[in-house]
Structure 1
Amino acid sequence: MLSIIFWLCFALGFVHYFAYPLAVLVVARFQKTKAPDYQSDFAQPSVTLIVAAYNEAAVIDQKIQNSLALEYPKELLEILVVSDGSNDATPERVACYAHQGVVSLHEAPRKGKTAALNRAVGQAKGEIVVFSDANTFYDPSALRELTKNFADPKIGGVCGRKCILKEEKRDSSRGDGLFWQFESALKTSESILGSIPTADGEIFAIRRRLYQVLPEDTINDDTGITFAIVRQGYRVIYEPKAISRESASITLKEDMAVKARMVYGGYQSLWNNRRWLLPPRDLFAVQFLLHKTLRHAMPFILLGLFLSNLTLNGPFYDWFLACQVVLYLIAGAGAIARSAGIELSWAYVPLYYCAMNVSALTGFAYFLKGRALTEIWTKAER
């Protein structure tokens, strides 16, 4: 029985980390890219850039200036800053740009990011809505790279590329940077096959008419929007040339809190769409389960793998157990050294990996408790 548990956990881990990414990369490499069905009379669409902000006075000026400098026709660009219960100077700072056409949507009662996005989309005028965060800064060509894909009427959403800035004082930037590089390569291939399983809310463009109002308790709004678009028969693709940049969380602890929230939202999405995903009805559902759900379930897979391995004998089992013990010892050494103010660079990757899996357990606990959005939607220090 224990050997069955071991090999089941081993297989799930292998599929998530190796088999699925490799299969997607290989199939995409030899499959012709889905040819866009471009409309010959396509013109640049009007765009509404929605910036979600909660107590972002420290960065909101820089974000607005970055948005105003984007290489997109000014007459086609509307900028809405939706402030969700900010109690700092964010609303006042946004109001300073009213003469440049920036619209402030401030509401004092804090209802959560999803409620703020619902409100903002309801007031948006652009054919295309682009979702962004206050601490995310776009390359000048980002909007052009996003919107060009909508020349294909089958495209309902386009996700851009998220890049983490490398900063010495941001101790989570190394782990986050490696993660997003891997995600970019995988999403590029998934996009060739059909749709990406989920988008990044920091740089995500959709056709406004496809937006469906989300329940206000939705944690991962970007995933909810992606599901809604795919359900309507449209593709959500990845555009690596549309680039956004942001700083990593200042501390690993802050990054863990963000990851816990994301995992909570991942389980919520799985539950809300369980009739579509379990069993999977199409390629999109398979991609979501193998790309996202297995990642969120990895702590349980690792735990099952380790505990079952303890009771199994044989050269391979002994070697594999030793590898696990070494991984966790290195991570533990990194954690102990960090608590003493010492940075062990060689221990960071194992430490980051283990920390993210601890966060996934925390996120699952939140999901089981049904913890309210307002309790966990706290802004990470950046």
Structure 2
Amino acid sequence: MPGVLFPQTRGVSDPRAIRFSRGAVRHRRKVVLRGSAVYIGDVTWLFWLSVAITVYAYFGYPLVLFALGLVIHRPVRKERIEPYVSILIPAYKEARVIAQKIRNCLALDYPAHKFEIVVACDGSPDDTPLIAQSLADGVRVRVLNFPVNRGKTEVLNASVPQLKGEIIVFSDAAAMLYRDSVRNLVANFADPQVGAVSGKYTVVKAEDVAIGKSEDFYWKYETFLKTKESELSSTLGAHGHLHAIRKELYEPLAPDAINDDYIIPVSVLAKGFRAVYEPAAIVFEEAQEMTGFGRRVRIMAGNIQQMRELRGLLRPFQTLPFFFFFSHKIVRLLVPLAMLAALAANLFLLGLPLYRTLFYGQAVFYTLAGAEALWRIRPRFLALPYYFTMVNAAVFVGLYQVLVRRKVAWK
């Protein structure tokens, strides 16, 4: 089979040395593969290291956070405060939802004279600016219309200086807020150490999309991690659907920045403030709005780009946030490589019953993922293997886009 190396007996003085048997491994611990010696111990070490990386990323890290939470807890002092708030809604081709979003924000449980809604239209070719303008009164609802599409980060940079609020709340157009979301979000700013706050993102109507349940589970998992990180110190990153920052702490984003909802909260850590998570500030979105490989590629490209934000955790050095960054971001990005390494190493260990069984398990998992990707009618039980594989495959495409400096625009 092309590309696969098999044991060869020709020219080997002791044919038993090349067999993948327990005796061969115990006595010689190597096999001859087309003229080169491969030590089983080395391959085994690579296999289990790859498995360990994957297991730690998704299971070990949450357990460590849970254990740390038993001995460390930094509560946030919350109060019912009502500073002036600017809700900034960046919008590009959002004609279908922008009116609903504006009405949703107008119905918030927050004093009408204490907040403004600002829609920043980024060169939308559809009717987004016209619809938003039809609901604007120049006071509670304003529209900033940028005629040329420049990208989300540049629109944020241009919009923030024009906002009146002491607190800036960022929220995506397609995501709807619970009535008390902004009030619960703002309550955290009563603590002078808090510089940024993230809301809780939830998925509704997950059953309407084949991978909706998997996406819903993923966000619940991320919510657990962010909640624990926040309770221990600071969460790294926010949900772009709903997060807030003190206006005085906002720094202009780099034009090529992708994950603004990560960069903005992390930037306050370098200034000595905390970025916390507020599970009572709920924002929701329908499942069909956020699934898809392209969206995952954009997120993963942003995650890779986040490596340059590490300096914010090193000056001054912050032990727990650095640990969070390493475990939640760096190790997670290594998982796709670990998955490939485990599969490749497993090929050299097929002579051993345990590894043969593990290989069959991997083969079944990836076959199910492939079936989910190809079938138009997708059985629900195929969704999780497909979703997990899709998320990790997106890392490679995202890495390519970052390396070639290809702009990953929002859609």
TM-score, scaled relative to structure 1: 0.91
What are the equivalent positions in structure 2 for 1:131-150 lying under 5 Å apart? 131-150=170-189
Q: Are 1:6 and 2:47 an aligned pair?
A: yes
TM-score, scaled relative to structure 2: 0.84
Three-state SS of the structure 2 residue aligned to 1:273 is helix
Q: CA deviation at 1:32?
A: 5.4
Which of 225, 230, 239 in structure 2 is aligned with 1:186? 225
Q: Are 1:46 and 2:84 an aligned pair?
A: yes
In structure 2, the CA distance between the partners of 1:346 and 1:237, relative to structure 1 (3 Å rule), is same
CA contact (8 A) 2:208 2:288 kept: no
Q: CA deviation at 1:104?
A: 0.3
Q: CA RMSD in A?
A: 2.1
Across the two proteins, how many residue pairs are aligned to each other? 367
Q: Radius of gyration: which is bigger? A: 2
Equivalent AA in structure 2 for residue 344 of structure 1: P
**Residue in 2 aligned with 1:26?**
67
Q: Are 1:202 and 2:241 an aligned pair?
A: yes
**Residue in 2 aligned with 1:36?**
76
Q: Distance in 2 between matches of 1:324 and 1:33?
A: 39
CA contact (8 A) 1:130 1:203 kept: yes
Q: Are 1:361 and 2:399 an aligned pair?
A: no
Which of 338, 361, 377 in structure 1 is aligned with 2:409? 377
What are the equivalent positions in structure 2 for 1:64-83 lying under 5 Å apart? 64-83=102-121
In structure 2, the CA distance between the partners of 1:359 and 1:31, relative to structure 1 (3 Å rule), is same
Q: Distance in 1 between matches of 2:334 and 2:202?
A: 25
In structure 2, the CA distance between the partners of 1:183 and 1:251, relative to structure 1 (3 Å rule), is closer
Q: Distance in 2 between matches of 1:277 and 1:292?
A: 15
Which of 202, 220, 225 in structure 2 is aligned with 1:163? 202
In structure 2, the CA distance between the partners of 1:332 and 1:302, relative to structure 1 (3 Å rule), is same
What are the equivalent positions in structure 2 for 1:337-352 lying under 5 Å apart? 338=375, 341-352=376-387
Q: Distance in 1 between matches of 2:155 and 2:355?
A: 52
CA contact (8 A) 1:220 1:266 kept: yes
Which of 127, 133, 143 in structure 2 is aligned with 1:95? 133
Q: Are 1:268 and 2:300 an aligned pair?
A: no
Three-state SS of the structure 2 residue aligned to 1:157 is strand
Q: Are 1:228 and 2:267 an aligned pair?
A: yes
**Residue in 2 aligned with 1:302?**
339
Structure 1 unaligned blocks of 5 or more: none
Q: Distance in 1 between matches of 2:312 and 2:196?
A: 23
In structure 2, the CA distance between the partners of 1:206 and 1:114, relative to structure 1 (3 Å rule), is same
Larger mean CA deviation between 286-295 and 53-62 belongs to 286-295
Equivalent AA in structure 2 for residue 345 of structure 1: R
Q: CA deviation at 1:76?
A: 0.8
Three-state SS of the structure 2 residue aligned to 1:103 is strand
**Residue in 1 aligned with 2:326?**
289
Three-state SS of the structure 2 residue aligned to 1:331 is helix
Q: CA deviation at 1:98?
A: 2.1
For residues 293-344 of structure 1, the C-alpha deviation after alignment (integer angstroms, 9 at most, x for no partner) is: 32233211100111012112534323322221121122122233x1xx3222
Equivalent AA in structure 1 for residue 115 of structure 2: L
Q: CA deviation at 1:276?
A: 4.8
Three-state SS of the structure 2 residue aligned to 1:98 is coil
Q: Distance in 2 between matches of 1:292 and 1:342?
A: 34
Equivalent AA in structure 2 for residue 349 of structure 1: L
CA contact (8 A) 1:191 1:237 kept: yes
Fraction of identical pairs, as percent: 35
In structure 2, the CA distance between the partners of 1:276 and 1:190, relative to structure 1 (3 Å rule), is closer
Q: CA deviation at 1:184?
A: 1.2
Q: Are 1:318 and 2:356 an aligned pair?
A: yes
Q: Distance in 2 between matches of 1:32 and 1:178?
A: 27
Three-state SS of the structure 1 residue aligned to 2:203 is strand
CA contact (8 A) 1:297 1:360 kept: no
Equivalent AA in structure 2 for residue 163 of structure 1: T
